[in-house]
Amino acid sequence: MKIAIIGHSGSGKSTLARFLGQHYHCEVFHLDQLHFSSNWQERSDHDMIADLSTCLLKQDWIIEGNYANCLYEERMSEADYIIYVNFSRFHCVYRAFKRYLNYRGKTRPDMADNCQEKFDVAFVKWILLDGRSETIKNYNSVVKNTLIKPCLDKSKAAKSLYEYDQLIRVQN
């Protein structure tokens, strides 16, 4: 099974990916881990794409994250299911702040080594404004793009906590 999870920063993509990975006994790849090296150093797109290409070759995977410049169409095309976590921007800021309180001074399991959790003005601006338009534009372009196989039949959107809970309460 191949699952792509996309959505806004702070929406719960990593949490959902970890849960589904445990439930389906499937390897989870966090794109933030591939994008950053130690101490928040950004890796080149070339290096990230090389690592992501290896992930895509696996029989089963769960890949969470957006990164439109890194095999986005390939991920959406190959995925058996696409989950779009679409909470309000204020809910995402709230979740990101809760995550910060939980991991303050530590590195989350879905991040590269020594990338201590942070919550600053630039990140809040990204959640509220900058990242929001980019994510929606990318999702809509992939789902509506006729150059790749249509994704509507394999897409799910979680716009509320109830819908998110339903995704987590998966049935075999």
Question: What is the domain count for the chain?
Answer: 1
Q: What is the pLDDT of residue 149?
A: 40
What pLDDT shows up at residue 142?
57
Which of these ranges, 34-43, 126-135, 148-157, has the smallest mean pLDDT?
A: 148-157
What mean pLDDT comes out for the span 62-75?
90
pTM of the predicted structure, to 2 decimals:
0.81
CATH at residue 11? 3.40.50.300
Q: How far is CA 79 from CA 59, 104, 124, 128, in A?
A: 11, 33, 30, 28
The average pLDDT across 30-36 equals 95
Query: Tokens 């070339």 sit at which residue?
Result: 46
**Residue-number span of the structural domain to which 145 is assigned:** 2-168
Mean of pLDDT over the chain: 83
Those residues whose C-beta lies under 8 Å from the C-beta of residue 162, and which sit 6 or more positions away, are none
Model pLDDT for residues 5-20, shown as the tens digit of each residue: 988 899 899 999 998 8
pLDDT for 88: 85
The pLDDT tens digits for 148-167 are: 344 445 556 666 666 766 66
